[in-house]
Structure 1
């Protein structure tokens, strides 16, 4: 089984978009908002599987697990559509992801949370 890179995923998404270009919206900045809203609906479907089936079935029932994973794929597809709408490349996303990882590795979450609580009081 292949492991897809971010670039592979974006290329697959572009191919899918091209196949359905007569029916689907173009991947333009104006459509980016809609992609994100559709993504939120797909997140709701993930939550629905959790609520209806529970963690045990997600982990041990192949049919439920496959449905759960498929909903995650739907979310990822809309994320990729939004990235493409805004012209965000796999390289830009990778760079930002690594930068955020390093930032988070250096953060003191307990201190930040305590400071936040003091700010809102």
Structure 2
């Protein structure tokens, strides 16, 4: 299987947003906070799976693992919506990520 990166996710998210543009709120800076709140809700669903079942069972039980991965995909979908709302490019994210990584590598 090939790598699955942010560029591909963003393109898929744009297609999804375009398909439901008359139903979903538009991708604009004004709606970015709403997307963040929805993302937090999805993170809560990830946490609930682990909290209710334990770390090991969430990883080893086939059905729970499927649910965990699906909720993580939801988190990433909203994450990409947030990037789109605020016009954050993949290159900008990459540069910031590298900078933060290098800073953390020197931290302790």
Residue 112 of structure 1 corresponds to none
Deviations 1:11-53 (A, max 9, x none): 1110110111110111100000000011111111011101221
Residue 87 of structure 2 corresponds to 87
TM-score, normalisation: structure 1: 0.85
Measured on the aligned residues, the alpha-carbon RMSD in Å equals 1.0
User: Counterparts of 1:46 and 1:34 in 2: how far apart (Å)?
Assistant: 19
User: Counterparts of 1:98 and 1:33 in 2: how far apart (Å)?
Assistant: 25
Number of equivalent positions: 108
State yes or no: 1:44 paired with 2:44: yes
Unaligned runs of 5+ in 2: none
Q: Please say which structure displays the higher CA radius of gyration.
A: 1
Residue 55 of structure 1 corresponds to 55
Structure 1 runs, 4 residues or longer, greater than 3 Å off: none
User: Counterparts of 1:87 and 1:29 in 2: how far apart (Å)?
Assistant: 8
TM-score, normalisation: structure 2: 0.95
